[in-house]
Amino acid sequence: MTAKFTLAKLTLVSHRLCPYVQRAAISLAEKGVAFERVDVDLSSKPDWFKAISPLGKVPLLRVRRDGGEEVIFESAVILEFLEETEANPLHPADTLERARHRAWIEFGSAILNAIGRFYSAADEAAFFKESQALSEMFARLEAELSARRSGPWFAGERFSLVDAVYGPIFRYFDIFDRIGDFGILDGKPLVQAWRGALSERRSVNEAVSPDYPRRLHAFLRAKSSYLSEIIRLQAIATPQARSA
Ligand SMILES: N[C@@H](CCC(=O)N[C@@H](CS)C(=O)NCC(=O)O)C(=O)O
C-alpha cells in the first residue's frame, strides 16, 4: 500500500546548475506538485546542509509529515519516492518496461559522469578521448531509440522519467554548441529530435533559472581544463562571446 504525502510540504534542496536536481524538479512539475526550492552554495556548504546530507550532495528532498521531517537523498531515490507518493505516474505500468526505463535512467547518470570528464579534461588528448566516449554513449542511445521509437518522447507519446533525466543532459549541449562544434551528437537524428522536443517542454525549461546559460558558461570557463582554454581563446577572438 502506498502512503500519500500530498499534504506534506516538500522542499528540494538544490544547486542552480545541478542536473540531478533538475530531474527532480521536472518530475515535481510534471506531477503538478507544489514544492519549495532552496539553493545551496556547494563551494561553501552551510552547516545545516552538511548535517542533513549524508554524501554532502544535492538534491535532497525534505518531506515534512506529522510534525516531523524526513530527508531523502540521491535523485533516483527521490524520483522513485515521488512515483510512489504522488499522482500522475511518469514510470510505465508494465514491470519490464519500468525496469528498462530505470536502466536508461542509470545510463543517463553515466552520461552525466562522462560529461563531467569531458569538460574537465586537462589536455587535448583527454578531451578528444572523452568526446569520443560521449559520442559512443549517444550512439547507443540512438540505437535504442531506433529500435523502439514511435513518438516525441523516450517512450512515444507519454513523457516519462527518462525524459526528465535527459532534458538536463541535452541542456549542456546548448552551451557546448556555442563554444565549438565537437560533433558528439552528429549522425544521431533520433537523439537530436528527442533533444529538440525536450528543449520545448515547459517543465524542462522551468527547472533552471533564466540565467542558467550564463552561469554554466562561467562555471565551464573557470575550470582549468582544455574546454576552458577554448572558451578563453574564443573570448579573445570574439569579445562578444565573453559570456554566453
Ligand atoms: N548520485 C547523486 C549525484 C548528485 C551530485 O553529484 N550532486 C552534485 C551537484 S550536481 C553535488 O552535490 N556535488 C557536491 C559535492 O560532491 O561536494 C544523485 O543522483 O543525487
67: domain CATH number is 3.40.30.10
Shared domain for 34 and 64, answered yes or no, is yes
C-alpha cell at 165: 533525466
Q: How far apart (Å, rounded) are the C-alpha atoms in residues 160 and 150? A: 14
CATH of the domain at 100: 1.20.1050.10
Domain closes at, from 58, 85, 112: 85
Shared domain for 81 and 116, answered yes or no, is no
Which residues of the chain register pLDDT less than 70? 1-8, 149, 239-244
* Per-residue pLDDT reduced to its tens digit, 133-150: 999 999 999 999 999 868
Q: Would you state the torsion angle of the CA atoms of residues 50, 54, 57, 59, taken in this order, to the nearest 10 degrees?
A: -100
C-alpha cell at 178: 556555442
- pLDDT, residue 243, reads 53
- Residue given cell 535523485 in the structure block: 75
Which residues form the domain of 218? 95-237
Residue 206 falls inside a structural domain: yes
Give the sign of the dihedral formed by CA 68, CA 73, CA 79, CA 84.
negative
Shared domain for 31 and 99, answered yes or no, is no
* C-alpha dist (Å) from residue 50 to 45, 58, 175, 243: 7, 11, 31, 32
Task: Decide: 42 in ligand 1 pocket, CB within 6 A.
Answer: yes
Kindly give the distance from the C-alpha atom of residue 58 to the centroid of ligand 1, in angstroms, as a whole number: 5
* CB-neighbour burial class of residue 23 (10 A; exposed 0-12, middle 13-18, buried 19+): buried
* Per-residue pLDDT reduced to its tens digit, 121-132: 999 999 999 999
- pLDDT, residue 241, reads 56
Kindly give the distance from the C-alpha atom of residue 150 to the centroid of ligand 1, in angstroms, as a whole number: 33
Q: Would you state the torsion angle of the CA atoms of residues 6, 72, 161, 139, taken in this order, to the nearest 10 degrees?
A: 170
Shared domain for 127 and 230, answered yes or no, is yes
**10, 18, 82, 185: the active-site residue:** 18
Shared domain for 159 and 216, answered yes or no, is yes
Bridging pattern class, strands 60-65 and 9-14: antiparallel
Domain count, the chain: 2
Catalytic residue list contains 18: yes
- pLDDT, residue 236, reads 85
Beta bridge partners of 14: 39
- pLDDT, residue 8, reads 47
SS3 68: strand
Shared domain for 132 and 229, answered yes or no, is yes
Shared domain for 192 and 119, answered yes or no, is yes
Kindly give the distance from the C-alpha atom of residue 243 to the centroid of ligand 1, in angstroms, as a whole number: 25
